Amino acid sequence: MKYLLALALILMLPEAQAQSVGIPAIAVDGGSGDGETYSVTLEILALMTMLTLLPAILLMMTSFTRIIIVLSILRQALGTAQTPSNQIILGLALFLTLFVMSPVFDQVYLLAVQPYLDGSLTALDALRAATEPFKTFMLAQTRETDIRMFADIAGVTEIESPEKTPLTLLMPAFVTSELKTAFQIGFLIFIPFVVIDLVVASVLMSMGMMMLSPMIVSLPFKLMLFVLVDGWALIMGTLASSFLVGA
C-alpha cells in the first residue's frame, strides 16, 4: 500500500493543506473575544474515508479471499483445530497477498500516485488511473460466466469489451470466481487427508478398537505426510502461481 502512504504524506504537507479547501472542525474561544478555528482539509477527509474502505478493498479486489479460504481449509483437513492460530493464518494470507499484488501496486504507483504527486493528474483522474491495474488483475481471474450472470441480473445487455466492464459488475463476479477457485483447490487438498482418515478408521474397526477416535490416530500420519512432501512450500507456491497462470 505504498501509494496510500505516499498520498497520505503529500496530504500532510503544509503546501498541500494551504491549497485545499478547509472545513471548520473546532472553534476555540479564549474568553476575551479572540478565538481560533481549526479546520480539516477536504483531501485529508477523503483520505480518512478511503482508509475505512481498505478492508472491503482487500476482500473485493485482491487475492486475499482465495488465500485465506485455502489456508483455512488446509487447517480443517489436517484436523489440528486452532493450529496454526487465526492470527498466523491471517498474517500468512496478508503477506502472501502483498507478494501476489506487488506488481499491481507498482503499476498503481507509477500510473496514478506519482503523476498525482507531480501535479500532472488531478485527484479524480488519479483515482480512475489507479483502478485500471486492479481491473486488469480481476479480469484475468474472473470467469466470463460469472460476469455474464451479474450482467443479466443488473440488466446490462452488452459490454463493449472486457476492459469496459463496470466495477459494480466486476467486483462481485471476481469474488464469486475466487470462491469457486478456492474451493476447488481446497477439494484437492482434502483428498489425501481423507484417504488417511479412511485407512486409519478401517484399521481401527478391524482391530475392534471402535472406542478410539480415528482422528487422534490419523493426526500424526497426516502431519508426517505434510512435512515429508514439504506441504507449506507446495501450498504457498501453488497459491502464488495460480494467480500468475490466470494473469
pLDDT at 46: 66
Nearest 5 degrees, angle CA 93-CA 107-CA 136? 75
Tell me phi and psi for residue 24, to 5 degrees. Answer: -55, 130
Do 116 and 80 touch, CB atoms closer than 8 A? no
Residue 163 per-residue DSSP state? G
Per residue in 13-23, pLDDT (tens digit) is 433 444 444 44
What pLDDT, on the 0 to 100 scale, is given for residue 28? 42
Report the pLDDT averaged over residues 117-139. Answer: 82
pLDDT level of residue 133 (50, 70, 90 thresholds): confident
Closest Cα to residue 212, out of 204, 220, 222? 204
Range from 116-125, 188-197, 206-215 that averages highest in pLDDT: 188-197
* Whole-number Å distance between alpha carbons of 69 and 178: 9
Using 50, 70 and 90 to split pLDDT, how confident is the model at 11?
very low
Determine which helix (DSSP H) or strand (DSSP E) holds 24, and give its type and residue range: strand 22-29
Residue type, 171: M
Region 234-244 average pLDDT:
85
Tens digit of pLDDT for each residue in 35-85? 544 445 656 666 677 777 777 777 778 888 899 999 999 988 888 877 888
- Give pLDDT, residue 41: 60
Per the model's pLDDT, the better-predicted residue between 126 and 12 turns out to be: 126
**Measured between alpha carbons, how far is 241 from 247 in angstroms, rounded to an integer?**
10
Contact 115, 121 (CB under 8 A): yes
Q: State the cell numbers at 244.
A: 500468475
Longest dimension (CA), the chain: 93
Rg (CA), the chain: 25
C-alpha–C-alpha distance, residues 43 and 31, integer Å:
32
Q: What is the mean pLDDT of residues 147-160?
A: 81
| More confident position, 175 or 23 | 175
Q: What does the pLDDT read at residue 141?
A: 87
Q: What is the pTM of this model?
A: 0.73
Strand duo 22-29 + 35-41: pairing: antiparallel
Segment 184-207 shows an average pLDDT of 86
Give percent of the chain with pLDDT exceeding 90. Answer: 6
